[in-house]
């Protein structure tokens, strides 16, 4: 076989669009294993599958998203002048499903999804423009128990794949918002501050606070808070914030949630990170990201979004979590986790067609894989 000289790009018919991938049978088997394991956990917790359209009206898909995600939409046209887009996130479409076709369903409503999403990302650091998300959404649960259910389910999902070392960085937007409210920072300046915190960019945060003319003392308090990471002891360090409206409730929720975490035996897997704000505008309270050693990108993320359904004239609390399937596959590859191929039974065609087909059917009826052996394999032309 002729080899292409190093540095020479393959012809256009070989290349895929940037940020996309194809799956060989072995790749697809690993992906199916991940999805099957997650599906089993999700359904074991009482979640039912939701399926949403691959594309929708752009203004509907953009509800609750931050500006960066709205700008990353892959837009289409339906020929009538209304802008369409491929789905960029799955929480909003699932929330819309609840608000339209499930308005009268008994609460709480537990839904899961395993679907692909599309984002016009800059392709670097392993980012994709098409990738798969597997997640759950719990509608109608307002207390810490609902938050805990999603967190514990997320941990169990990872453990079902054999992942034993992972960390959930848990925060609460109420604390940062309490400080920003106290400083009177809102509008565009507030967005700049939150974006800097989300990127963990201390230089950008300092610049955003200067632009907002934040008092030095309060700016220092905010920087200390977003740098505060730890286990239960971190809650004690944040207690001085209880005097601010909204902060007391946030700290009380985290305290209660930590009790659930301890009872579930997950203390070593959870770190309180008060600079955890996430990039979605729809988050309102508890929020988190999930990481594993050796994997640069987050495996998953989630949080509470109690006001998202108000866009659809519905007052309902909600909390959810989603995994990036490709990130989980990357972890499996690094960890050397193997997914065995099914054992194949070759059926010799020399016994005759009828006998061979009956034998193959009998093998498949026993739950095994049967392949018809037609003779020596064809030789590849070079």
Residue 159: per-residue pLDDT: 96
Per-residue CA distances from 193 to 35, 93, 142, 190, 199 (Å): 37, 28, 28, 5, 10
Q: Is residue 119 part of a domain?
A: yes
Looking at the fold, whether 148 and 242 belong to one and the same domain comes out as yes
Looking at the fold, whether 275 and 359 belong to one and the same domain comes out as no
Looking at the fold, whether 268 and 363 belong to one and the same domain comes out as no
Q: Average of pLDDT values for 266-287?
A: 85
Looking at the fold, whether 164 and 261 belong to one and the same domain comes out as yes
Residues facing residue 40 across a β-bridge: none
Portion of the chain with pLDDT greater than 90, in percent: 54
Beta strands at 109-118 and 48-49: parallel, antiparallel or unpaired:
parallel
Three-state secondary-structure class, residue 310: helix
pLDDT reading at 251 higher than 50? yes
Residue 236: per-residue pLDDT: 86
Q: Average of pLDDT values for 3-9?
A: 58
Residue 31: per-residue pLDDT: 95
Looking at the fold, whether 299 and 350 belong to one and the same domain comes out as no
Per-residue tokens: 381: 């032309």
Q: What angle do CA 207, 303, 94 make, to 5 degrees?
A: 120
Q: Is residue 11 part of a domain?
A: no
Looking at the fold, whether 354 and 321 belong to one and the same domain comes out as no
Task: Spell out a b/e string for 129-155, using b for 16 or more CB atoms within 10 Å of the CB, else e.
Answer: bbbbbbbbbbbbbeebebbbbbbbbbb
Q: Is residue 12 part of a domain?
A: no
Residue 265: per-residue pLDDT: 96
Q: Average of pLDDT values for 133-150?
A: 97
Residue 86: per-residue pLDDT: 94
Looking at the fold, whether 364 and 250 belong to one and the same domain comes out as no
Report helix angle 216-226 to 202-211, nearest 10.
150
**Residue 247: exposure state from Cβ atoms within 10 A (0-12, 13-18, ≥19):** buried
The count of structural domains within the chain is: 2
pLDDT reading at 1 higher than 60? no
Q: Is residue 190 part of a domain?
A: yes
**Residue 179: exposure state from Cβ atoms within 10 A (0-12, 13-18, ≥19):** buried
Residue 218: per-residue pLDDT: 76
Q: Is residue 263 part of a domain?
A: yes
- d(C-alpha 20, C-alpha 129), whole Å: 6
Looking at the fold, whether 237 and 349 belong to one and the same domain comes out as no
Residue 117: per-residue pLDDT: 95
pLDDT reading at 162 higher than 60? yes
The count of other CB atoms within 10 Å of the CB of residue 252 is 14
Looking at the fold, whether 295 and 359 belong to one and the same domain comes out as no
Q: Average of pLDDT values for 125-149?
A: 92
State the pLDDT confidence band at 382, using cuts at 50, 70 and 90. low
Looking at the fold, whether 265 and 146 belong to one and the same domain comes out as yes
pLDDT reading at 362 higher than 80? yes
Residue 217: per-residue pLDDT: 78
Residue 12: per-residue pLDDT: 61
Residue 358: per-residue pLDDT: 95
Q: Is residue 10 part of a domain?
A: no
Closest CA to 119 of 102, 101, 132: 132
Residue 5: per-residue pLDDT: 59
Q: Is residue 340 part of a domain?
A: no
Does 328 or 201 have the greater pLDDT score?
328
Does 123 or 341 have the greater pLDDT score?
341
State the pLDDT confidence band at 124, using cuts at 50, 70 and 90. low
Report DSSP state, residue 199: T
Beta strands at 167-172 and 344-348: parallel, antiparallel or unpaired:
unpaired
Mean pLDDT score of the chain: 88
Portion of the chain with pLDDT greater than 70, in percent: 93
CATH code, domain carrying 187: 3.30.930.10
Does 350 or 328 have the greater pLDDT score?
328
Tell me which of 1-10, 110-119, 213-222, 249-258 is least confident. 1-10
Q: Average of pLDDT values for 331-338?
A: 86
Report DSSP state, residue 340: P
Q: Is residue 254 part of a domain?
A: yes
Looking at the fold, whether 234 and 359 belong to one and the same domain comes out as no
Structural domain harbouring 364: 345-373
Using one digit for the tens of pLDDT, what is the confidence trace for 277-317?
765 678 899 999 999 988 878 999 999 999 999 999 999 99
State the pLDDT confidence band at 168, using cuts at 50, 70 and 90. very high
> What's this model's pTM, rounded to 2 decimal places?
0.87
Looking at the fold, whether 302 and 354 belong to one and the same domain comes out as no
Torsion of CA 139, 145, 150, 153, to 10 degrees: -130
């Amino acid at each position: 076989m002729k080899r292409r000289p190093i540095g020479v790009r393959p012809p256009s018919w070989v290349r895929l669009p940037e940020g996309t991938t194809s799956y060989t049978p072995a790749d697809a088997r690993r992906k199916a294993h991940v999805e099957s394991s997650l599906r089993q956990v999700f359904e074991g917790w009482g979640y039912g599958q939701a399926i949403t359209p691959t594309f929708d009206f752009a203004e509907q898909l953009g509800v609750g998203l931050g500006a960066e995600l709205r700008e990353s939409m892959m837009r289409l046209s339906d020929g009538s002048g209304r802008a369409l887009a491929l789905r960029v996130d799955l929480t909003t479409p699932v929330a819309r499903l609840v608000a339209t076709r499930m308005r009268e369903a008994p609460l709480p409503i537990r839904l899961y999804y395993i679907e692909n999403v599309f984002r016009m990302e800059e392709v670097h650091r392993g980012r994709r423009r098409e990738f798969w998300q597997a997640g759950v959404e719990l509608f109608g649960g307002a207390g810490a128990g609902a938050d805990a259910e999603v967190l514990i389910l997320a941990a169990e999902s990872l453990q079902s794949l054999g992942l034993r070392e992972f960390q959930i960085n848990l925060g609460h937007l109420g604390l940062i918002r309490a400080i920003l409210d106290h400083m009177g920072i809102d509008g565009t300046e507030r967005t700049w501050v939150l974006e800097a915190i989300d990127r963990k960019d201390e230089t950008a945060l300092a610049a955003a606070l200067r632009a907002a003319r934040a008092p030095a003392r309060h700016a220092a308090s905010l920087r200390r808070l977003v740098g505060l990471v730890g286990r239960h002891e971190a809650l004690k360090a944040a207690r001085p914030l209880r005097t601010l409206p909204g902060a007391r409730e946030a700290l009380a929720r985290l305290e209660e949630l930590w009790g659930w975490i301890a009872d579930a035996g997950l203390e070593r897997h959870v770190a309180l990170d008060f600079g955890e704000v996430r990039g979605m505008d729809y988050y309102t309270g508890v929020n988190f990201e999930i990481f594993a050693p050796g994997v640069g990108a987050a495996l998953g993320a989630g949080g509470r979004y109690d006001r998202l359904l108000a866009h659809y004239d519905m007052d309902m609390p909600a909390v959810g979590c989603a995994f990036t399937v490709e990130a989980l596959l990357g972890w499996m590859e690094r960890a050397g986790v193997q997914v065995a191929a099914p054992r194949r039974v070759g059926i010799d065609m020399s016994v005759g067609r009828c006998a061979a087909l009956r034998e193959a059917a009998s093998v498949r009826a026993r739950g095994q894989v049967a392949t018809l052996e037609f003779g020596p394999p064809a030789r590849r032309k070079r």
